[in-house]
Structure 1
Amino acid sequence: MRKQKVAIIGAGVVGASAAYFLSKEKEIDLTVYDESTGQGTSAAAGIISPWLSRRRNKKWYRMVKEGAAFYPNFLKEVMNDQPIPPSIYKKVGTLLFKKKEKHLYELQEIGEKRREDAPEMGELTVLSPKEIKEKIPIYTKEEKALWAEGGARVDGGKLVDLLLNKAAINGASFVPERVTLSQDGKDYIIHSSKGEERFDSVILAVSAWLPDLLEPLDYEVDIRPQKGQLVEVKLENTDTADWPVIMPQGEEDIIPFDNGHVMIGATHEDEAGYDLTFDEVILKEMIHKASQTFSTHFDEASIYAYRSGTRAYTSDYAPFFGQVPGADRLFTASGLGSTGLTAGPIVGKCLAQLVLNQEADLPLHDYPIEQYVQKK
């Protein structure tokens, strides 16, 4: 019996997760295409802590809540019950700050209600400055914070590398190229420098580049790019391995990893398009803001690295996934924005399930692709 030939274009967190799941299927002959340029996942370090968001979109909240709950067992499976490398993912808790102390208690009340349906959130407590300093000794401010025990950190680039490595071990092929897509009858044709190759099914996991791939098939796509920049600093002689992730008021999240390495960011730049140039002025200002809002130690830290990537947003900031309307066996997901690392693995699994003619873990009707991808 001939294997089903499947291609995945795009190997960010969504595409790499789909590749991992499909590579385990013996009836699938899988090829992954990705040129890596601009990939949001590789540039991202994420906070997996969606439960305290005040965003009112219940369908979006369901996606990120299910995505956060999905992570531990997903990575346990990927690691074949071996320890999950803390450099990739670690549950360390979250500290969330608000300018007005009363808002912390309001969020705590919201969280307590949501915890009934999301026990992985863990304990919720408003911590004093002294209690914060016990968790992060370099804290130099006097504000309280809401502690969410179940919060976790994830390094997007290292997660993608892990998933693609597992997929390759399972037999998937990887082509590091930018490609184009066309259709001939029931076949989809991928054009690369090596020529043309036909596939039975294709997943497009290309984030903000989805309009470019679907334009030759005569589709309009409601997607726009957003630039995100992060800066990685190094705190010398400082043990940061177990520090919680920090969400100050604003967009300068602080994400500690091991050996004194701390990520700060990311920016949300709607007008930058696909420009990936580092803006050192903006990045150094983020370090300064982190010093102002959390610890003066950040102004003294050495800059270790810069990261820049592109996210995808729809006009109403809602995500979507499913089969491209009118295109049998062509699937896609996009619009995840800054929650891509939280929701990406479960969305990738859903796309793999659709390829396998299985019911998706998330309900398709809540993330209607036909609202954002339409024939011209």
Structure 2
Amino acid sequence: MTQKSIAIVGGGIVGATAAYYLARQGYQPVLYDWGQGQATKAAAGIINPWFSLRRNQAWFQLVAHGAEFYRQFMEDLKQDGYPHQAIFQVDGALMIRHSDKGYARDLKQAQKKLPLWPAIGQVKTVKARDYFPFLKDDLKATYVEGGGRVDGEQLIRILHRAIQDLGGTIHYQAVNLNQRNNGLEIQVEGQSKTYDQVLLAVGAWLPILLEPLNYQVKIHPQKGQLYIIQDANFKNQHWPVVMPPGLGDIIPFNDGRIIIGATHEEDQAYNLDPDLSQLEALRQHVSQIAPDLAAYPIQTYKVGTRAQSQDYSVVLGQVPGLNQVWTVSGLGSSGLTSGPYLGYQWAKLVSQGKWDIDTTAYPIEAYIQKL
């Protein structure tokens, strides 16, 4: 039997995971990665979605499955001989709430959700400073044992290496799309090729990619910035991540870095220039709960562009009017949590003809329309 030809446009967290799992099964996927402004490379994220106050259940199912999937994901990389420890660590999460009512709600939610999502682990109300010494002495927190963190840049670096080791191909180039009947032709430097299956996983660049084919895509870019501080005394402390109300998550890594982020800027389009005023606003926000930490000088910063739908819903499914062309976009700031699961699921769809995604919960026609 002739093997399916598979193209994935976009080498971020969704596309790279899909290509990795397809290559792992013996396929030879072709990954096209322009890389400009890629959200994953510029991101460090907290994997602790279970206590979000968002009421969108379709979204919650993806992030909750995503958090569980990380355990399998890292085990698969480990079995293949890749340094998964650099990508994902579980040292718990501290959620700082406005009031005692918030802590009581967390404990109640934990009792309800733990049987469904065992990665949550133990949940309890604690004195925050006992777990992260830079926090103010009077702060309480909900401690979630299963809370973790992921380094997006390390994840992409290792996945790209694994894809090529396992027989996949990566082209670090931008592409253009041409429609041929109800299919798609991918054009790179004047040469065109068609594939049996195509995944468009370009995040915020989906409207630009599909515009020449007369599609209107209701996804917009959201700029995200974070900054990094570093100290040898931060190494190997195994501190939990800290989630205060609003912006300013604190993400300590055991290599001595602490990442503070990230901004959510809706009016910057695809602008990747750093805005020091926004980084200073992050620092000021952190100073309200961890003043000593905020006093450390900024070592460096990262800027990326997330894909956000008009109502913050996830956009996934087959592109209307294009046979065997699929897309995943609109993940926003939860992309590091749900992205690997979605990439894995698309690989499953290609290899087995079905996936564990109920696409009726994600009406793609509301976000992608042929003009």
User: Which of the five TM-score ranges fits, normalised by the shorter chain?
Assistant: over 0.9
Normalising by structure 1, we get a TM-score of 0.94
Contact persistence 1:204–1:333 (CA under 8 A): yes
Q: Larger deviation: 332-341 or 78-87? A: 78-87
Identical-pair percentage: 39
What is aligned with 1:21?
A: 21
> What is the match of residue 276 of structure 1?
272
Paired amino acid for 1:96: M
Aligned partner of 1:7 in structure 2 is: 7
The answer (yes or no) to whether the contact 1:180–1:192 under 8 Å persists in 2 is: yes
Q: Does 1:80 align with 2:75?
A: no
| Residue 348 of structure 1, CA deviation | 0.6
Q: In the alignment, which of 347, 360, 366 is matched to residue 371 of structure 1?
A: 366
Distance 2:146 2:369 in 1: 39
TM-score (norm 2): 0.95
CA distance in 2, matches of 1:269, 1:186: 37
Q: For each residue in 1:86-134, what CA deviation from the matched residue of structure 2 results, as whole angstroms up to 9, or x when unmatched? A: 3310011100001223212122212221222112101110002xxx333
CA distance in 2, matches of 1:307, 1:78: 26
SS in 2 for 1:125: strand
For 2:205, which of 199, 209, 220 is the aligned residue?
Answer: 209
Aligned to 1:48: 47
Deviations 1:283-340 (A, max 9, x none): 12312321221x2222332322111111111111110211112211101111111100
Cross-structure match for 1:146: 142
CA contact (8 A) 1:76 1:84 kept: no
Deviation digits for residues 124-159 of structure 1 (CA, Å, limit 9, x no counterpart):
10002xxx3332233333110000111000011111
Contact 1:235-1:301 at 8 Å conserved across structures: no
Alpha-carbon deviations, 1:25-68, whole Å to 9, x = none?
33x33211111111111111010000111111111111110110
Q: Does 1:136 align with 2:132?
A: yes
Q: Hey, what's the Cα distance between the residues in 2 that align with 1:183 and 1:357?
A: 26
Q: Which residue of 1 aligns with 2:337?
A: 342
Aligned to 1:310: 305
What is aligned with 1:118? 117
For residue 341 of structure 2, give the secondary structure of its aligned residue in structure 1.
helix
Q: Note if contact 1:41-1:156 (Cα within 8 Å) is conserved in structure 2.
A: yes
Query: How many angstroms does 1:200 deviate by?
Result: 2.2
Whole-angstrom distance in 2 between the partners of 1:85 and 1:173? 21
Output the amino acid matched with 1:341: L
SS of residue in 1 equivalent to 2:273: coil
Preserved contact between residue 183 and residue 325 of structure 2 (Cα < 8 Å):
no
Question: Is the contact between residue 247 and residue 285 of structure 2 (CA under 8 Å) also seen in structure 1?
Answer: no
User: Root-mean-square deviation (CA), in Å?
Assistant: 1.8
Shift of 1:244: 0.3
Structure 2 gap ranges (5+): none
Q: What one-letter code is carried by the residue in structure 2 that aligns with 1:10?
A: G
> Are residues 1:95 and 2:94 paired?
yes
Q: Is the 8 A contact 1:18 1:351 kept in 2?
A: yes
Alignment of 1:351 with 2:314, yes or no, is: no
Pairing 1:189-338 to 2, within 5 Å after superposition: 189-193=185-189, 195-239=191-235, 241-293=237-289, 295-338=290-333
1:70 maps to 69
